[in-house]
């Protein structure tokens, strides 16, 4: 896990200057506290900041082979098998990121087809005069590009492109409208004009500072439900989960896991305990707030049954108000998911003991855990509903000019997911994997963990797991009004202490309650923030915050609070100093 950045300038441009490269590296220093390196050849430069996880001694980057230099952010989990499959190659390091370098020399643009892992890769082939950028199929690791008159720049985070002057601090209105209504943004365009995402699974071939080719590697297998019986499906799931967790545990540094008490993370815990030669270290967060759902007790019971060492942290209202400006500032590509709060605090705590954690992201998407999937399975005349058919601010009369186009990106993802043979359920899962997963859940995990120099790994988001889960018959995913049916069956058989069919209270962040408590003072501050004042009526914002105890009102108030703090940090360029009230008051001065 690292930070990568660089640029390829056109033939008429001057070579990259040291100040620009230094600005890119400085902006990504939090992603790579263990070292830095760069490669400069002609008008192409690569910049790397390293978080050392595998090959602590010889794994510094850039890596070189002949005329090719490579930098990477991520982990290639099948690197040992890839090395064994290239017996004639003389490897210069023990790094998991060296095999892609030699695969490029052998396979060209198809080099990512053999990779199993999470990655954002940049390589410069001096002989071919090409810069190649590649991102893993699920989009676990981020990568962004910016086109300028001089050429092309790229980085792990938009903040680096902004800091180096490759894009301006402004708001792309369509992306802002998506953010407000969905809490995340879709597709390649970001909220910053001129900055685009490299999409999950994309490989870009660039020359003379321009993108010449785009190739795409799919995360999910094609085709409809397969014919498989329950016992065979359970055996295959067991083998796939064991293999994936084993691969994701490869590390030369201490590691642990995030345990929520829910089905997904408990399955990861059970498999880690099966494979472990020592006690698993599990971290759980809960909220000290009256009436808040809290899974710490369930997590502690599961950890005890697995023989794991368990550490739980309590998050208070005072802690959230104190640190929220810094938490939101980590989300330069904004996702207003309030789960950033526990994720940030968990990462801060876990970093005291480990540099790597496994987590359960992707379990709901692979095994159909969300309630919206059960609705999407039904036709409209049986009560079925389109996913995300209603925006957060619809009907609240808060935004001055709400755009009706906010759902266009989601609609495009749904249309693209409707490939031959897929059921309604599979289409819903695939649409979520295309945008919600990559641009909300995984973005949140990446930014909150990297803010503390800690790597996150997601065993459910793996080629083998996708092959084992995605094409299961719908009835093995959803049955009896419950999602994740096969995964629950697996837990019932292999880790019954999880009580997988017992009612779960869920995990919720009590931000609505907290905002309502502070609404009289917080509402006017948010309404006066320049980014909010531009889009919303101040009196309606104030009224919204006073009524934030309601579910819809609380979610909308949180989204505006997030946007106010995000705008302050990434558009106004102000440091996240002080608590929420101090930060927003300073923005008014």
Q: What is the pLDDT of residues 493-550, one digit of tens each?
A: 999 999 999 876 655 788 989 999 999 999 999 999 999 999 999 999 999 999 998 9
Q: What is the DSSP string of 142-193?
A: --EEEE-SSEEEEESSHHHHHHTTSS-S---HHHHHHHHHHSS--SSB-SST
Whether pLDDT at 588 is above 80: no
Instruction: Write phi, then psi, for 291 (nearest 5 degrees).
Output: 80, -5
Q: How far is CA 398 from CA 406, 452, 521, in A?
A: 16, 36, 18
The architecture of the domain spanning 2-216 is 4-Layer Sandwich (3.60)
Q: What is the pLDDT of residues 313-331, one digit of tens each?
A: 999 999 999 999 999 999 9
Report pLDDT for 383: 64
Q: Span 406-418, mean pLDDT?
A: 95
What does the block give as tokens for 288?
Answer: 């000290």
Q: Where in the chain is the domain with CATH 3.60.20.10?
A: 2-216
Whether pLDDT at 336 is above 80: yes
Q: What is the pLDDT of residues 86-127, one digit of tens each?
A: 999 999 999 999 999 999 999 999 999 999 999 999 999 999
Task: Measure the CA–CA gap between 414 and 434, rounded to whole angstroms.
Answer: 9
Higher pLDDT, residue 587 or 564: 564
Q: Where in the chain is the domain with CATH 3.40.50.620?
A: 230-370+435-498
Is-contact 202 134, C-beta < 8 A?
yes
Is-contact 40 21, C-beta < 8 A?
yes
Report pLDDT for 54: 79
CATH class of 230-370+435-498: alpha beta
161 pLDDT band, cuts 50/70/90, is very high
382 pLDDT band, cuts 50/70/90, is low
Q: What is the pLDDT of residues 188-237, one digit of tens each?
A: 999 999 999 999 999 999 999 999 999 999 999 999 999 999 999 999 99
Sign of the CA dihedral with 532 first, then 538, 540, and 543 last: positive
Report pTM. Answer: 0.96
């Amino acid at each position: 896990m690292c930070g990568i950045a660089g640029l390829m300038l056109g033939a008429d441009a001057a070579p990259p200057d040291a100040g620009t490269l230094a600005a890119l590296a400085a902006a990504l220093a939090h992603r790579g506290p263990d070292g830095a390196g760069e490669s400069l050849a002609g008008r192409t430069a690569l910049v790397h900041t390293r978080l050392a996880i595998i090959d602590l001694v010889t794994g510094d980057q850039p890596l070189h082979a002949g005329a090719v230099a490579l930098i990477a952010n991520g982990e290639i989990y099948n690197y040992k098998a890839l090395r064994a499959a290239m017996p004639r190659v003389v490897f210069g390091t023990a790094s998991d990121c060296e095999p892609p370098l030699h695969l490029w020399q052998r396979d060209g643009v198809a080099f990512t087809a053999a990779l199993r892992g999470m990655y954002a890769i940049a390589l410069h082939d001096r002989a071919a005069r090409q810069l190649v950028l590649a991102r893993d199929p699920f989009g676990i690791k981020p990568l962004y590009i910016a086109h300028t008159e001089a050429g092309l720049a790229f980085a792990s985070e938009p903040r680096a492109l902004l800091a180096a002057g490759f894009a301006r601090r402004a708001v792309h209105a369509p992306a802002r409208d998506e953010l407000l209504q969905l809490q995340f943004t879709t597709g390649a365009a970001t909220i910053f004009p001129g900055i685009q995402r490299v999409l999950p699974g994309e490989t870009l071939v660039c020359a003379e500072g321009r993108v010449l080719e785009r190739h795409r590697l799919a995360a999910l297998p094609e085709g409809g439900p397969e014919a498989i019986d329950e016992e065979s499906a359970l055996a295959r799931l067991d083998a796939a989960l064991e293999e994936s967790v084993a691969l994701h545990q490869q590390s030369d540094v201490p590691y642990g896991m995030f345990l929520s008490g829910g089905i997904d993370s408990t399955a990861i815990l059970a498999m880690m305990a099966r494979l472990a030669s020592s006690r698993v270290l599990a971290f759980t967060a809960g909220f000290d707030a009256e009436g808040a759902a809290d899974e710490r007790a369930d997590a502690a019971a599961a950890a005890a049954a697995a023989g794991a060492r368990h550490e739980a942290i309590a998050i208070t209202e005072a802690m959230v108000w104190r640190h929220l400006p810094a938490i939101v500032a980590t989300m330069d590509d904004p996702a207003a998911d309030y789960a950033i709060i526990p994720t940030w605090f968990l990462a801060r705590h876990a970093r005291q003991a480990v540099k790597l954690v496994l987590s359960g992201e992707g379990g709901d998407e692979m095994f159909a855990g969300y309630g919206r999937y059960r609705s999407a399975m039904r036709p409209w005349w049986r009560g079925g509903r389109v996913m995300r058919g209603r925006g957060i601010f619809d009907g609240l009369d808060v935004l001055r000019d709400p755009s009706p186009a906010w759902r266009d990106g989601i609609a495009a993802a749904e249309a693209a997911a409707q490939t031959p043979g897929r059921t309604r359920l599979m289409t819903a899962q695939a649409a979520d994997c295309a945008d919600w997963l990559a641009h909300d859940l995984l973005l949140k995990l990446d930014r909150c963990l990297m803010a503390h120099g800690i790597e996150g790994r997601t065993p459910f988001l793996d080629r083998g797991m996708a092959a084992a889960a995605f094409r299961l018959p719908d009835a093995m995913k959803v049955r009896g009004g419950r999602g994740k049916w096969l995964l629950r069956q697996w837990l019932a058989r292999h880790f019954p202490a999880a009580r997988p069919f017992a009612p779960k209270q869920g995990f919720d962040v009590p931000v609505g309650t907290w905002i309502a408590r502070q609404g009289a003072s917080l509402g006017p501050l948010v309404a006066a923030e320049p980014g909010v004042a531009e889009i919303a009526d101040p009196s309606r914002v104030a009224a919204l915050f006073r009524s934030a105890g309601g579910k819809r009102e609380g979610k909308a108030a949180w989204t505006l609070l997030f946007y106010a703090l995000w705008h302050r940090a990434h558009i106004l360029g102000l440091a996240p100093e002080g608590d929420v009230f101090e930060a927003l008051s300073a923005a008014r001065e």
